[in-house]
Every structure is written in structure tokens, then in C-alpha cells.
Structure 1
């Protein structure tokens, strides 16, 4: 049960400004210095990228925890509660710790007179304070957006990881892949090793140039570095062959084929960080890792995925096409208005073989009206395209269409996926309460008789 003070503080945190006119990490550094440099109490793994960085963080955290290391995990966005962003040994921080961290930052602002922190800067500093309080040994820190001016870039890492880079957040990071890559490369530090996914020559050249300038060891992981051996149900077996780590059989527990790449990146980063790490630790860490909202089967035949931009939609569809449900798929989709949903619709429908598409949204100002998206989707398919303003009704419509040999995919904005999980959890709680009430009534009736 959420306590009132936590609920109040969470609302206060959400009121913080989202962006500032001149991007910089200086304000975060000022606060950390004023607070006594809590970031120096633990070691950091810094992860940036457009897609896959959250999953890669989860794999890394799991490997480190398997090694017996006390971990902190900082990721974004959250799906249901803000405390998901800050985890200790894969458990959400408790409400009291969240409140204490906020009060420390608020006091620092009042006493120092520093400029207020943006929302992401605030939760970053709060996470650092909590990680110090919880005595974590390593913190895996995921960038919120970009890298160079991201709040997490105020920390000094032991290793940097850059996952797949694509076109996203162009209004903030730049309108070309090269500009976006330069922002991501901004997390590299002098003498600090960096593992990165090598998909695009233009991106790779920028990373090589930055690494040379920083005298940073750069490990490039191409698509040829790993090979999927088998994908059966929720388990993907793959081999890995890189300069730094070779393993003939690794496994991740996921329906998403794209997780093999994220697992490979995490395995290589762990091996560079801990050269003597046992293979079994890496294997167990990868297999036991879980990242919610990514090809997650929430109930039999219902899969959710937070594919929210063109590259992640492409990765999502690679997994969908392997599911064996051609012509028996139902898609429920919601997207933010600032995304290229024309390109996303084309990618979803050119080979998706869906039998129906349901477009919806959640009550969030950034979400696009499904009626606006509908004609865009209809130009790429002949199957029925429905619109439903209510996410709950969209889900119910999909379930009414579903049969035993169908699969429902619900994809798009992570805010949509989070709202859906919250709705289903609430529905499950209500069902349990109803069943408990019925059982109580039956028990009372039995006693009366």
C-alpha cells in the first residue's frame, strides 16, 4: 500500500521541469559535490543507445548479481511506479528511501541556492543517494536520452556500453544519424573501455574517432559476432565470438530475438570488466535476467512490447515473424505524436500478416489520436483497422477477437505498455477480491446451515 507521503513526493518529482534551455551536466555535478560526492561510494557501468539499453542494463545487473556483487540499477522510463527506476539487487527501492532521497536533494537546493534540477536530473541524483545509502558496489546507470548532456554523464564509469543507435528524439539530439551518434559517443571517458554495437559504418567511424581522442579501448560487436542457434518458446540459444569473449552456447529467456544481441553486448562488457569471471556466472546471469515490457507474454497468447520507434519496431517484427502465427495475429498499437508512425506502420504491416489492427491511446498529452493514425495504417494493409479511444476497450476488443490459435500483440509507447500493465494488475486484484468475497459468502452460508 502506497503511503501518503510517498504519493505526495512522487507528485512533486513529476512537477519538475522536463528540459532546460541550455543542456549541461554542470548542475548535477554541483549538487553531487554539495551532497558530499555520494557517487564516489560505488563503481559505475554507464549504458547509452537508442534501443536495447534497458535490456542490456538488466543483463549486466543479473551477471553482476550472480557474481555476488551488490547492485544498483537505474533505468527509465518506469512502467507502473517511479520506484522501478531505482533498484537494489533487482528489487525496487522502498518508498521511505525514495522520500529520504528527495528530501536530501530539496534541502541541498534550498541551502545552496543552485538552479532547480530537471525531472531526470532529480531522479538521477536521488538514485545516487539511494545507492550510497544501500551500500551498492556497482551501479548500472542507463542514460535517459543522448549521452553527452545526460544527467548520468556526471558520473565516472569503469566501463561504457553503447547499444544500437537509431533515429529518435531528433528534436533534441539532431536530425541525422551522425549527430545522434556524436551525442551517444559523449559518454566515452579518457582511458575507460567502451563496448558498442557495430551496425552502421558512419556511426562506427564516429565512435572510433571519439575513442582515439579519449584514448579509450573500443570493442566493436558486429552482427557477425553472435549467431542465434535456436529459438524455441521463450528461450534463445546463441553463440558469441569476439576479440574479448568467446562462448559456444549462451541463452537468454525471451521471446524477442533482438535480446541475443543485447545479451552478447552484456557478456562482452562483463568479460572486459572482470577478465577472470567464470563462464557459468555469465551464462546464469544472462538466462535469469528479465526486462518487463519487452516481448513479455503477460498471459497465454498475449504479448506486449515497448517498441516505440522505427528501429525497435523493426526488431519487434523480426521476432513476430518467427512466431508461427501467420495470418492469426492481432495488433493493438498506440504511439506518441512526435514519432514517425508512417514508417512504423509500414514496417509493422509490410510482412506482419495481421488479421486485424486496433489503434488506441492513453490519456497522456504526447499520445497521437488513433483517428489520425488510421488512414496511415490503412494505406499499408487490406485487413480491418479499428480505432478505440479507450485502452481498456481496445484490449477487450482484441480479447473478444482472440481464439486459442491466435496471438495478440500490444506494442508502441512505453507509457501505453505501462498503463496496460497497471490496468491488468488492477483487474487481477479486483478479480481476486471478488473471489474472496464469494468464498466468504459461501463460508457464512455453510456456517448458517
Structure 2
């Protein structure tokens, strides 16, 4: 009798069992979900689904932290992960154990094979396994991050009580195209009739509102129905104004800066109100002070790690650095996939970076360091070194930094993950976040 399959065994099997890694569409995943009984009853008491191009991860992290500060039990499902697959499913703020994930995969596999076999992608099987685990826990709130799409994403087999659209920008062009109006329609596919939707940006394409009107979803838009503003004083605090679940005007004041985009913070508050929760100002302050999100403006000493991988995210990152005192040098460690807009990312960051180290990534979508270096030079950027991997680039940089220099690691989840692993091997707690005060100064 063979030993039971480990989580690593299952992930290897899932990577190989479908002919393509991304296969948008709901028919296959919905049928397996029905076989698993996931369509028979609500996933849990409340479900908030978050879609968008940028800002999904930070919105999910703040929703989770705020909910837990109010004493709610939570489940969050996100992707991709940085270091461990377990990061994708968090229960009450703790990564899921291997045994739970494996049992979820076993249930997915049994349903997939009977009565007629159905092929699932790695992401689809992982999503259904996470849903099975969430049903077993039945938390007060499940927060689901959509993958690269919306309408045809596996997460969308579950009807949310509240939908959130963060931002719309160009990314994943091979699957979503370059037409922002069409991308907006795809992302807006998570909306449901007579359910509230939070629009978390004042610069969304018109198609997003058009879908809401067509579907009959209840619109709650940043700048129209809720807003945020800075407060005067020595501390960096802010005020939120919006409406609670009954439509009553509500204000929350003296909120700490979470170190993440304020638009996303404001959207998280509005979504929680619309889910039927009554929010307490002091609990909200604790939630924002305690929020953690590795790989987003994450500081490890004088190294900043951020997964920004498209022009929209790069411009936001540059705006944050523009608020900081300029260091002696800021060196960018850049690794990107071949299907990303590297030219736009470099253009967005160029004003804040003095020199670059390029690194090669692995896989079928990889872009090598020399190609990135040529692109940088074509934009009159200084290239200091080319490395075969993120870890090799980090090792080279460690020997060439001055005490007053800073490093920005960006371009891909793979780039950040590689440098986090490098930190971990050097005995550094790579997931440790700085204090809230340090984040406010970032």
C-alpha cells in the first residue's frame, strides 16, 4: 500500500493534468462544484468577492484584518502565492495546514472523475479545494480574490453578497485583450442582481457601470457614495465617509494609515458595511494598524519588495517613493515575465530609480535578464548587473550597496518570491512586517 500523497505530490499532479495552465470558462469548474455539493447552499454566512487589475490583494488583506478586529471568523482565498501554496487559503488569519488542503484536493478529484471525467486547471482545482475547506469551517465571512479575469474566473461560480471592483488597467493581454472597456466588462462579471457592488476607483471604464445597470446591482462608487480624506495633525490619519448597510450616512475618523492604497482601504470599509456588519471606529483603527501583506511595499531593512508588474502598479509605487526622502542611491532589482509590459513598468519607475539589476525568471513565460537590460538601456536607464535569478541578483547587490542606498525589488511575484527565499536562507525573517509607524513613513 503506497503512502498518501503529500501536498507537494498533489500540486505536481495538478500542474500536469490539464493541457494549458489558464483556460477561462465556468462550465467545467461549475459542473465539478455541483458534484461536490458546493452549489446547493451558500458557501458561508457572508461572501465578499474582489476583482480588478491592481489592489485586489491589499483590499482582501484589509477586509480580513478589519473583520477579525471586529471578532469575526474569516476565510480568505487569494492567488498567486509567494513562498508556500498554503498562503492561498487563510483561516482566521492563519495559513491552511497541508492536511486540510490535501483533503480538499481529494474531494475535488473524486468529484472530477465521476461519473464522467472532467479536466481542471491547477487554479480551478485549487479554487474548488479551497471552497470545500471553507464550507467545513463555515466562517462568519469569506473573502475571495478573483484570479486574472472575472466573469469566466473559477471563483465566480460562487455568488457574492458584496462585489468589489478595485481598478481596471491593462494586464494579461493574451487573455483579456487591450481594450479597457472589454476588460471592465469581464471584471464586472462578478456582479449579481440586487446585490451591492463597490467601485473602488474614480477612473473605471464606463463599461463597469453599464454592467451594473444591466445586471441590476446596487452601485456604491468611490467619490460619489463614499470617500476618504486626510486629517490635519502630527499623525498621518484619515477620515472615511459613506453609508452603512441601512443607507445611513456614517463617518469614521482618526483612522491610521495602513501603508496600503487608501482607495482600497475606503472600499474595504464600504464593502463590510454593505455586507450587513456594524463597524466600530476603534476596531477599525486596530484593523488598519495590524494589517499585513507580504510583497506589497514590504520593507526588510533598506530593501522594499513589491510585486508591481504592470504600468498602473508601477506608477502607484513611484508615487509612494516620491513622498520619501531620496536615498544616496535607489537600485531597482527587476525581473519580469515575457507577457508583461516591461516598457511601461520601467517608464513608470524611471524617475525614482538610479540604476538597475536585471534578473532572469524561469518557466515558459520567462524573460531573461539580458533582454530586460537591453530594454532599460533603450530608455536611457543605467544597468549595473545582469543575474541569472532573483537570488543571484540579490546576492550581487548585497555586496555592492552603500549604507545609505535603498533597493526596490519588483516586476513579478516570482521576483519577490525569489528574493524573499534569499532573505530566508540568510537567516532573515522574510515575512516580518515593519511596525505601523514604519509603514506610515514608507
TM-score, length-normalised on structure 1?
0.87
CA contact (8 A) 2:15 2:121 kept: no
Corresponding residue number in structure 2 for 1:325: 326
- The 3-state SS of whatever aligns with 1:62 is helix
Runs of 4+ in 1 over 6 A off after TM superposition: none
Which among 172, 176, 193 is matched to residue 173 of structure 1? 176
Which among 138, 141, 144 is matched to residue 141 of structure 1? 144
Corresponding residue number in structure 1 for 2:341: 340
Shift of 1:104: 0.9
Measured at CA, do residues 382 and 68 of structure 1 come closer, stay the same or move farther in structure 2, by a change above 3 Å?
closer
Residues 178-197 of structure 1: matches in 2 within 5 Å?
178-197=181-200
CA–CA distance in 2 between the matches of 1:21 and 1:302?
33
Shift of 1:40: 2.2
More helix per residue: 1 or 2? 1
Q: Decide which moves more: 404-413 or 421-430.
A: 421-430
CA–CA distance in 1 between the matches of 2:237 and 2:308?
23
Corresponding residue number in structure 2 for 1:374: 373
Measured at CA, do residues 429 and 23 of structure 1 come closer, stay the same or move farther in structure 2, by a change above 3 Å?
closer
CA contact (8 A) 2:201 2:263 kept: no
Residue by residue over 1:267-310, the C-alpha shift from the partner in whole angstroms, topping out at 9 and shown as x without a partner, is 11112223532122222222211111001012x11110000111
CA contact (8 A) 1:83 1:93 kept: yes
Q: Decide which moves more: 216-225 or 131-140.
A: 216-225
CA–CA distance in 1 between the matches of 2:233 and 2:408?
19
Corresponding residue number in structure 1 for 2:8: 7
Shift of 1:252: 3.3
Which among 45, 51, 56 is matched to residue 53 of structure 1? 56
CA–CA distance in 1 between the matches of 2:180 and 2:340?
16
Residue by residue over 1:349-399, the C-alpha shift from the partner in whole angstroms, topping out at 9 and shown as x without a partner, is 1x21x3321111233332211111212212333534421223222112222
TM-score, length-normalised on structure 2?
0.88
CA–CA distance in 2 between the matches of 1:74 and 1:267?
19
Shift of 1:198: 3.1
- The 3-state SS of whatever aligns with 2:182 is helix
Residue by residue over 1:195-247, the C-alpha shift from the partner in whole angstroms, topping out at 9 and shown as x without a partner, is 0123326x1x2222211222211111149932345899xx9533323455433
CA RMSD of aligned residues (A): 2.5
Q: Which runs of 5+ in 1 are unaligned?
A: 431-449
Q: Decide which moves more: 399-408 or 316-325.
A: 399-408
Shift of 1:424: 1.9
Greater Cα radius of gyration, structure 1 or 2? 1
Confirm or deny that 1:241 pairs with 2:241.
yes
Residue by residue over 1:149-205, the C-alpha shift from the partner in whole angstroms, topping out at 9 and shown as x without a partner, is 00111001110000011000111112211110010011100011000123326x1x2
CA contact (8 A) 1:221 1:242 kept: no
Which among 112, 116, 121 is matched to residue 113 of structure 1? 116
Corresponding residue number in structure 1 for 2:270: 268
- The 3-state SS of whatever aligns with 1:186 is helix
Residues 144-293 of structure 1: matches in 2 within 5 Å?
144-200=147-203, 203=205, 205-222=206-223, 225-229=227-231, 237-242=237-242, 245-254=250-259, 259-274=261-276, 276-293=278-295
CA contact (8 A) 1:378 1:385 kept: no
Measured at CA, do residues 110 and 383 of structure 1 come closer, stay the same or move farther in structure 2, by a change above 3 Å?
closer
CA contact (8 A) 1:355 1:384 kept: no
Measured at CA, do residues 87 and 22 of structure 1 come closer, stay the same or move farther in structure 2, by a change above 3 Å?
closer
Q: Which runs of 5+ in 2 are unaligned?
A: 245-249, 430-442
